[in-house]
């Protein structure tokens, strides 16, 4: 009986040792804060953002001034003059919104600049983490910055395709 228990225990320990997965974590915020190129890129992006914001604020103030003047003078203006002034104000508002989208929109200047400056650094970080994961035989590497998210997963441990097959998808 003792031999059976010892054999089962030895097999269990061997099974656990063979199937043990290594996990690790990184703090991408800490990593990026310690890369001078990233800090320089952030400063450049902040300056550009401030410049864009000042330009938009100036334009917005001008529109508000025009609207205030229109409100004050509307009593003295003919209908034709009122329409012309309204059209100018509406046109300026459209230009303002268009410029705002051009600078800060999903594919705007600031986003494009961020992609050009920051993405290569992020790619380098990812490649380094992937290399560490491969060399260290890590199954998962978590990123603790901004909450726990999966930063790298070894495709060998990805069951997504098997789940899709089980659901009847190829």
| Residue extents of the structural domains in the chain | 21-166
Mean local confidence (pLDDT), 29-33: 83
Q: Which of 127, 124, 133, 146 is nearest to 23 (CA)?
A: 133
Q: Tokens standing for 155?
A: 């495709």
Q: Which of 123, 154, 151 is nearest to 38 (CA)?
A: 123
Least confident of 15-19, 59-63, 76-80, 126-130: 15-19
Burial class (CB in 10 A: 0-12, 13-18, 19+), 93: middle
Question: With 90 as the cut, is the pLDDT of residue 41 above it?
Answer: yes
Mean local confidence (pLDDT), 3-8: 66
pLDDT digits (tens, 9 = 90+) for 70-124: 898 888 888 999 899 999 999 999 999 999 999 999 999 999 999 999 999 888 8
Question: Between 132 and 68, whose confidence is greater?
Answer: 68
Question: With 70 as the cut, is the pLDDT of residue 132 above it?
Answer: yes
Segment of 2-6, 27-31, 44-48 carrying the highest mean pLDDT: 44-48
Query: What confidence score (pLDDT) does residue 112 get?
Result: 95
Query: What confidence score (pLDDT) does residue 33 get?
Result: 83
Question: With 70 as the cut, is the pLDDT of residue 153 above it?
Answer: no
Angle between helix axes 109-136 and 79-104 (nearest 10 degrees) is: 20
Q: 66-81 b/e with 16+ CB inside 10 Å = b?
A: eeeebeeeeeeeeeee
Question: With 60 as the cut, is the pLDDT of residue 15 above it?
Answer: no
Q: Report which secondary-structure segment, H or E, holds 26.
A: strand 22-26
Query: What confidence score (pLDDT) does residue 131 get?
Result: 82
Segment of 20-24, 35-39, 127-131, 147-151 carrying the highest mean pLDDT: 35-39
Question: Is the pTM here over 0.85, yes or no?
Answer: no
Q: Which of 26, 48, 28, 24 is nearest to 121 (CA)?
A: 28
């Amino acid at each position: 009986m003792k031999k059976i228990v010892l054999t089962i225990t030895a097999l269990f320990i061997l099974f656990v040792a063979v199937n043990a997965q290594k996990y690790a974590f990184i703090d991408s915020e800490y990593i990026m804060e310690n890369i001078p190129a990233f800090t320089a890129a952030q400063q450049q992006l902040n300056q550009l953002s401030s410049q864009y914001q000042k330009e938009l604020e100036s334009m917005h103030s001008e529109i508000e001034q025009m609207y205030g003047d229109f409100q004050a003078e509307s009593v003295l203006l003919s209908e034709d003059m009122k329409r012309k002034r309204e059209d100018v104000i509406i046109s300026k508002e459209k230009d303002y919104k268009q410029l705002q989208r051009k600078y800060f929109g999903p594919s705007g200047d600031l986003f494009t600049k961020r992609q050009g400056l920051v993405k290569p650094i992020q790619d380098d970080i990812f490649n380094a983490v992937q290399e560490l994961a491969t060399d260290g035989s890590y199954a998962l590497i978590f990123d603790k910055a901004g909450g726990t998210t999966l930063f790298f997963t070894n495709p060998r441990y990805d069951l997504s395709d098997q789940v899709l097959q089980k659901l009847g998808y190829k």
